[in-house]
């Protein structure tokens, strides 16, 4: 049964909007009329898409996105319903009633309708790739084929939750240094453009020779006060040029190689990518997805084109009869621990468990590295800001002391 978005008027004259399941707009009108609500507009599936394209605003952009946590909760609820022996269409109906997120509710309503019309769950989910990615759809397809849909749904929920926790931890760790950098930049800008010029005006009437560091401060302050707009334009142009270059195929490849070789952050990026690779591949293989298909999915979620290139090379080697570990070892991009454990897993027939162990090890390393970065970045940024403020204070106070000494003498 489709889900309609409607606009209506209550008997009191108050405007009402909402979502409601109905066979057709006519049925919806009759149902609402019995409740004392009179329709003014009904948005069907095509109308909803047209309205969404015309009415793109900040609220829709912020509230319309389906988070990984919301998707994980819905997946776990569906797993419980299917595991209880409820038919799939009825389980989807209950899930639509349970979900509160408007966009996810509409999408699940469409999925339920397609399944009710004879489509497989995987094909119905595949119509909405922005919410259900290749990994999700292929795992569902493997679960339907093997008859283990409930188990696959549970694994999907656990995988989605673990990835959401990891992203949240990384974002939370980087939020403080970024906020400190922004606040520090604003403070420095105010000091150089407003405070310092007013203080240094007292030196204009003095006849003393200013120290070199004071002259440097006055020159920097004067430049910032006079050409702040040029500085902002230059920074904006630099950021725009960098983003354009990074989005190009050659720029993306070069940047991803540079990132992997960065002293501290490169190690973190590699650990996150390897942990994601191992966890995703293990989850896909446990769910019955073929190895070549799983490798193709994993390649697209690593977030680094260089490592994705290595996975593609490994996939080609596997197609020719080679093992997984050998091409990973040849690339030099995966640490010895990874390809040794994968090789052992291939020989012992426990590849999924070995990949899960690799994921656990590298996810633990990510947490350790994040903790070390946090403890390093905070004092480093404080020292840098303190150094700049100290330079300003020292450059201003020293000439003032000289003027006082001359006046006292």
Asked if 284 contacts 139 with a C-beta cutoff of 8 angstroms, the reply is: yes
Q: What is the pLDDT of residue 229?
A: 87
Q: What are the Cα distances from residue 120, in Å, to 123, 130, 141, 142, 323?
A: 5, 19, 8, 11, 33
DSSP run (H or E) holding 57: none
pLDDT of residue 45: 46
**Both tokens of residue 388?**
């700049």
Distance, in Å, from the CA atom of 182 to the CA atom of 175, rounded to the nearest integer, reads 11
Backbone angles phi, psi at 311, to 5 degrees: -65, -40
Distance CA 248, CA 219 (A): 39
If DSSP states are collapsed to H, E and C, what string results for 84-133?
Answer: CCCCHHHHHHHHHHHCCCHHHHHHHHHHHHHHHCCCCHHHHHHCCCCCCC
Query: Is there a shared CATH topology between the 68-162 domain and the 272-365 domain?
Result: yes
Q: How does pLDDT run across 265-299, given as a tens digit for each residue?
A: 888 889 888 988 888 888 888 888 888 888 888 88
Upper half-sphere CA count for residue 188 (Cβ side, 13 Å): 18
Q: Which overall architecture, per CATH, does domain 68-162 show?
A: Up-down Bundle (1.20)
**106 near 48, Cβ under 8 Å?**
yes
Residue ranges of the chain whose pLDDT lies below 50: 45-63
pTM: 0.64
Distances (CA, A) of 324 to 78, 260, 271, 316, 339: 34, 22, 19, 10, 8
Residue 378: closest CA among 105, 151, 175: 175
- Residue in the block written with tokens 């339907």: 144
- Its CATH class, for the domain covering 272-365, is mainly alpha
Per domain, the residue ranges of the chain are 3-56, 68-162, 272-365
**CB within 8 Å of 86: residues ≥ 6 apart:** 94
Give the number of residues written for the chain.
409
Q: What is the DSSP letter of 365?
A: H
Interatomic CA distance for residues 95 and 79, integer angstroms: 10
Q: What is the pLDDT of residue 242?
A: 92
């Amino acid at each position: 049964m489709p889900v309609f978005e409607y606009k209506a008027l209550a008997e009191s004259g108050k405007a009402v909007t909402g979502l409601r399941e109905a066979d057709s707009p006519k049925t919806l009108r009759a149902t609402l009329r019995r409740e004392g609500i009179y329709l003014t507009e009904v948005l069907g599936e095509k109308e909803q898409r047209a309205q969404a394209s015309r009415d793109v605003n900040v609220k829709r952009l912020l509230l319309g996105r389906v988070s990984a946590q919301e998707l994980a909760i819905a997946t776990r609820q569906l797993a419980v319903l299917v595991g209880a022996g409820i038919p799939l269409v009825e389980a989807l109906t209950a899930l639509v009633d349970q979900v509160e997120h408007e966009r996810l509710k509409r999408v699940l309503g469409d999925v339920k309708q397609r399944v009710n019309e004879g489509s497989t769950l995987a094909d119905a989910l595949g119509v909405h790739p922005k919410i259900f990615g290749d990994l999700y759809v292929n795992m569902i397809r493997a679960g339907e084929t093997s008859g283990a849909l409930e188990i696959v749904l549970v694994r999907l929920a656990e995988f989605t939750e673990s990835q959401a926790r990891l992203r949240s931890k990384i974002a939370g760790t980087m939020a403080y240094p970024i906020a400190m950098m922004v606040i520090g930049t604003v403070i420095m800008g105010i000091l150089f453009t407003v405070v310092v010029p007013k203080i240094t005006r007292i030196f204009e009437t003095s006849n003393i020779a200013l120290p070199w560091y004071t002259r440097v401060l006055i020159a920097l302050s004067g430049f910032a006060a006079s050409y702040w707009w040029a500085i902002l334009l230059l920074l904006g142009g630099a950021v725009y040029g960098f983003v354009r270059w990074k989005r190009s195929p050659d720029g993306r490849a070069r940047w991803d190689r540079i990132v992997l070789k960065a002293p501290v952050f490169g190690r973190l990026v590699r650990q996150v990518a390897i942990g994601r690779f191992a966890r995703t591949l293990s989850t896909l293989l446990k769910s019955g997805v073929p190895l070549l298909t799983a490798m193709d999915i994993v390649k697209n979620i690593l977030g680094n084109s260089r490592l994705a290139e290595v996975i593609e090379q490994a996939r080609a080697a596997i197609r020719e009869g080679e093992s997984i570990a050998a091409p990973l070892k040849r690339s030099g991009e995966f640490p010895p621990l990874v390809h040794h454990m994968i090789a052992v897993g291939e020989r012992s027939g426990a590849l999924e468990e070995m990949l899960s162990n690799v994921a656990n090890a590298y996810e633990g390393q990510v947490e350790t590295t994040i903790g070390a970065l946090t403890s390093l970045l905070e004092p480093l940024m404080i020292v840098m800001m303190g150094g700049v403020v100290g330079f300003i204070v020292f450059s201003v106070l020293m000439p003032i002391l000289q003027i006082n000494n001359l006046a006292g003498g």
